[in-house]
Amino acid sequence: MITVEWRGKPVWVVSLTDEMVKTLGQHDDKLSDPQLEVTSQQPDYCKNATRSIKPNLMVMEGVCTHLGCSPSPKLQPGGDMGGDWQGGFFCPCHGSKFDLAGRVFKGSPAPTNLMVPPHQYLSDAVLLIGEHSKEAA
């Protein structure tokens, strides 16, 4: 995972293993908006299971949708997040939890999933944040 700055905000670029991607379909019942119905939180081309253009590479703003703190990466299962934690992000300010695709868990004070900014890949190695991809959803 790396963090870059865009418009004064942290943007995370998170590499997910195939195992991590598989976990994303396993807890929809625990999420507030698993089907991405709040469409303002991601571009149409990221309205998919991983909320990303490339399934193994997430791009999202590292800004909690509650009051704007920056959540902490808790990418690995378990640990101090408990035995049923499959990996994701935890906001220490008021306890919001997000999965590896930035989808918020029910019971969190954050009202919506983390924001996926406009972005596109200029090549396999070059990511441009701030301009929309022309790829279809």
Residues of this chain that interact with ligand FES (CB under 6 A) are 64, 66-69, 91, 93-96, 109-110
Nearer to ligand FES, 96 or 120 (CB): 96
Cβ pair 46, 102 in contact under 8 A: no
Q: Provide the 3-class DSSP secondary structure of residue 10.
A: strand
Q: Which is nearer to ligand FES, 11 or 53 (CB)?
A: 11
Q: What angle do CA 118, 126, 114 make, to 5 degrees?
A: 30
Give min distance, CB of 63 to ligand FES, in A.
9
* Catalytic site includes residue 27: no
- What DSSP string describes 46-91? G-STTSSSBTTEEEEE---TTT---PEEE-SSSGGG-TT--SEEE-
Q: Which is nearer to ligand FES, 58 or 91 (CB)?
A: 91
CB of 125 to ligand FES, least distance (A): 33
Active-site residue list: 94
